[in-house]
């Protein structure tokens, strides 16, 4: 499926600083990786966490209707 891309935000696993946004094919999307990223806030290599860009916005839009559940 060409064009079936989505934005994924790479974040520091410790302080949650957004480090980069990457585009991946939807079928290749992995939100859990063992990759390490250099975090400029921590000044250290940190485990990478990923989140689908735009999902937070969608959650915020629904927050008036549904209580937010923090699954982490
Ligand atoms: Zn950090």
Average pLDDT, the chain: 80
Q: Distance, CA 56 to ligand 1 centroid (Å)?
A: 19
The arithmetic mean of pLDDT across residues 42-46, rounded, is 96
| Residue 64, pLDDT score | 61
CB atoms within 10 A of CB 57: 9
35 vs 39: which has the higher pLDDT: 39
**Terminal alpha carbon distance of the chain:** 31
Q: Which DSSP string do the residues of 24-53 spell out, in sequence order?
A: EEGGG--SEEEEEEEETTTTEEEEEEEEET
Is pLDDT above 90 for 60?
no
Confidence grade of residue 6 (pLDDT, cut at 50, 70, 90) = confident
Instruction: Tell me, yes or no, if the pTM score tops 0.85.
Output: no
Two tokens, residue 25: 């094919």
39 vs 72: which has the higher pLDDT: 39
Q: Distance, CA 42 to ligand 1 centroid (Å)?
A: 4
Protein residues within 5 Å, CB atom, of ion ligand 1: 12, 14-15, 17, 39, 41-42
């Amino acid at each position: 499926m060409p064009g079936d891309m989505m934005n994924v935000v790479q974040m520091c696993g410790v302080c949650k600083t957004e480090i980069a946004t990457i585009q991946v094919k939807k079928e290749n999307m992995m939100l859990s990786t063992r990759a390490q990223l250099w975090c400029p806030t921590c000044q250290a290599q940190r485990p990478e966490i990923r989140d689908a860009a735009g999902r937070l916005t969608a959650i915020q839009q629904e927050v008036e209707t549904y209580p937010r559940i923090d699954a982490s």
